[in-house]
Structure 1
Amino acid sequence: MHHEWLLLLEVGISIIKHAFHSGITFFDTSDFYGANTNEVLVGKALKQLPREKVELATKFGIVKWDSNGVVVKGTPEYVRSCCEASLNRLGVEYIDLYYQHRIDTTALKQLPREKVQLATKFGIVKLDSNSVIIKGTPEYVRSCCEASLNRLGVEYIDLYYQHRIDTTVPIEDTMGELKKLVEEGKIKYIGLSEASPETVRRAHAVHPITALQIEWSLWTRDIEEEIVPLCRELGIGIVPYSPLGRGLFGGKAVVESVPANSFLVCS
């Protein structure tokens, strides 16, 4: 196992170095990835690269994630201990961008709310372990927002996304309710996720859209034809997800480890 780890380490370092010399200078990791080993890998690679030319991001906040759910933590003491540990594993003096990986809602009450940007979503209703429905009626939008405010224990949400578009409800109706929530001070900004260019334009006509979350990677580039130009035109920020193509660019070991019945295979 030790030999295998060294081999994987060597391969990982060579990949990171190749990426850097190909023009990629932003590297994103987490203290949770590989149970800390990913930070060790990135740190060893950085020692062979000019630190001042690399933008390094890592994360804290997930203590455990298993079949029982995710355990998160965000106390000031925990934040500091995680930062010190990440600096040590990475072998660097500073981290360029430090993320809170998941929000500890109990910790929010210990932080200055005005300095925290909080985003959450609505729109996906889970029926059972294998099926969901999409919902975007005005009544549902309001009930979801009220429930999220209550669970988060906050008076307002900075960025509120519609997680998926309900095609059975005119986007103008959904946006109309979101606009009311903005006017009531319950949300500050509105976001959409996985929306078509036409939907984005129609929604933006009701109330300005601040952010669009959508899949974007070397594998999924269709948004570059219409979505990206449209967002530039309207001044909407793009929040991409799955930049590694849902694991496609994670290498053979990652691809082969995906179960045959996984949605990643089916999609």
Structure 2
Amino acid sequence: MEQRALGQFRVGAIGVGCMNLSHAYGQPPARADAARLLLHALDLGVNHFDTAALYGFGANEELVGEVLGAHRSRFTLVSKCGMQGVPGPDGAKRRVIDGRPETIRQTCEDALRRLRTDVIDLYYLHRWDKAVPIEDSVGAMAELKRAGKIRAIGLSEVSAATLRRAHSVHPIAAVQSEYSLWSRHPELGVLEACRELGAALVAFSPVGRGFLAGAIPDARAAAALAPGDLRRAMPRFQGEHLAANLRWLAAYEALAKEAGCTPAQLALAWLLQKAPHIVPIPGTTKVAHLEENLAAAEVTLPADLVGRVEALVNADTVSGGRYAPATQAEIDTETYPSGL
């Protein structure tokens, strides 16, 4: 596979986001199946695995450490701090955003233990805690780098302005943000800022949380999502927004057929051709989908077809915001009026 820059590292043009194996989309797969997928990805040449303290409230880091720890030299290990689970009054863990330096230091120590390593290659601030100056959070991460606990610093879901503030404290190797045909907000500033600063733009949910892969072909499929599936709370998968998005889905699938690839591969190939500093990290729980995603690196899209895809799926044609308003308020990205 083509290799791209991720800070000082060279990684495959398509990496693997590990969240799905422990978090966010209903009941996760059995541990043996999750381990099988990770090892198969490694065997296929994947050398970029992305996890976080939040995913499964530490369970995903434990999974990655247990399964891939013995192969540590073969891949770039990425994790995140600044958003994790803490026990609530009833003892159950709840999600919190906490970018205080002391929390970042402790989260890193916990991550190193769970990941069974002495250093994390790229460590992101998962969300900017707006109660803490970005300079303070990045300063704490710079201390971790000087101590040899991490090798590079990243940010997640931030604006170009926040990226530049952080970069003035310490060079930022990568910005991770949702980016796909139906989530185009990085094009409002941060994609270009990353290029100027020499940072990678790591695209999570590059196939639209499954929508661009055909996983939600109709309203019944959306209604059948598991109770713990975060898409149930996302406007794009609800009511009139979902109906509006389904109206262009068949035309999108027809363009994929014309390109000689699957709908998921069309979405990934579009990202790869958009700019050389973009690195998608699709997640999946199925080996067949993993293989399908990685094969997108071999797809070349004609310029005229790219134009037709972009005319079909864009900020004017996609209906609904990425998140519910309360969640969107926690994020520091630029947005179109439509919420893309």
Give the TM bin, normalised by the shorter chain: 0.5 to 0.7
Equivalent-residue separation in structure 2 for 1:130 and 1:141 (angstroms) = 18
Number of the residue aligned with 1:236: 199
Q: CA deviation at 1:196?
A: 1.6
Q: CA deviation at 1:80?
A: 6.9
Larger gyration radius, structure 1 or structure 2: 1
1:185 and 2:148 equivalent? yes
Greater Cα shift, 175-184 or 127-136: 127-136
Question: In structure 1, which of residues 197, 206, 211 is the aligned counterpart of residue 160 of structure 2?
Answer: 197
Number of the residue aligned with 1:223: 186
**Closer/same/farther in 2, CA of residues 232 and 263 from structure 1, 3 Å limit:** same
**Closer/same/farther in 2, CA of residues 144 and 219 from structure 1, 3 Å limit:** same
Question: In structure 2, which of residues 56, 70, 80 is the aligned counterpart of residue 110 of structure 1?
Answer: 70
Equivalent-residue separation in structure 1 for 2:150 and 2:68 (angstroms) = 17
Question: In structure 2, which of residues 96, 101, 108 is the aligned counterpart of residue 133 of structure 1?
Answer: 96
Q: CA deviation at 1:197?
A: 1.4
SS of the residue 1:238 aligns to: strand
**Closer/same/farther in 2, CA of residues 188 and 106 from structure 1, 3 Å limit:** same
Per-residue CA deviation, residues 205-224 of structure 1 (Å, 9 max, x unaligned), is 11111111101111111210
What letter matches 1:73 in structure 2? A
Is this contact kept in 2: 1:56–1:97, CA < 8 A? no
Question: In structure 2, which of residues 117, 128, 133 is the aligned counterpart of residue 154 of structure 1?
Answer: 117
Q: TM-score, normalised by structure 1?
A: 0.61
**Closer/same/farther in 2, CA of residues 261 and 140 from structure 1, 3 Å limit:** closer
**Closer/same/farther in 2, CA of residues 261 and 80 from structure 1, 3 Å limit:** closer
Per-residue CA deviation, residues 215-251 of structure 1 (Å, 9 max, x unaligned), is 1111111210211111111111011111222233324
Equivalent-residue separation in structure 1 for 2:203 and 2:41 (angstroms) = 29
SS of the residue 2:124 aligns to: strand
What letter matches 2:224 in structure 1? S
1:124 and 2:91 equivalent? no
**Closer/same/farther in 2, CA of residues 148 and 130 from structure 1, 3 Å limit:** closer
Q: CA deviation at 1:124?
A: 1.5
Task: Report the number of matched residues.
Answer: 199
1:166 and 2:129 equivalent? yes
SS of the residue 1:73 aligns to: helix
Greater RCO (Cα-Cα under 8 Å, separation 6 or more): 2
Q: CA deviation at 1:204?
A: 0.7
What letter matches 2:178 in structure 1? E
Is this contact kept in 1: 2:128–2:158, CA < 8 A? yes
> Gaps spanning 5+ residues in structure 2: where?
3-11, 51-59, 234-322, 324-340
Q: CA deviation at 1:143?
A: 0.5
Higher strand share: 1
Q: CA deviation at 1:114?
A: 3.5
Per-residue CA deviation, residues 162-186 of structure 1 (Å, 9 max, x unaligned), is 1111000001101111111111111
Equivalent-residue separation in structure 2 for 1:123 and 1:152 (angstroms) = 17
Number of the residue aligned with 2:139: 176
SS of the residue 1:231 aligns to: helix
Q: CA deviation at 1:264?
A: 2.1
Per-residue CA deviation, residues 136-172 of structure 1 (Å, 9 max, x unaligned), is 0000010011111112221110011111110000011
What letter matches 1:173 in structure 2? D
SS of the residue 2:131 aligns to: coil
**Closer/same/farther in 2, CA of residues 213 and 221 from structure 1, 3 Å limit:** same
Equivalent-residue separation in structure 1 for 2:15 and 2:151 (angstroms) = 27
Equivalent-residue separation in structure 1 for 2:136 and 2:230 (angstroms) = 31
After the TM superposition, which residues 1-267 of structure 1 pair with which residues of structure 2 at under 5 Å, given as runs?
67=27, 71=31, 72-73=34-35, 79=39, 104-111=64-71, 113-127=72-86, 131-249=94-212, 250=214, 251-253=216-218, 254-258=221-225, 263-266=230-233, 267=323
Equivalent-residue separation in structure 1 for 2:175 and 2:40 (angstroms) = 32
SS of the residue 1:188 aligns to: coil
Equivalent-residue separation in structure 2 for 1:82 and 1:108 (angstroms) = 9
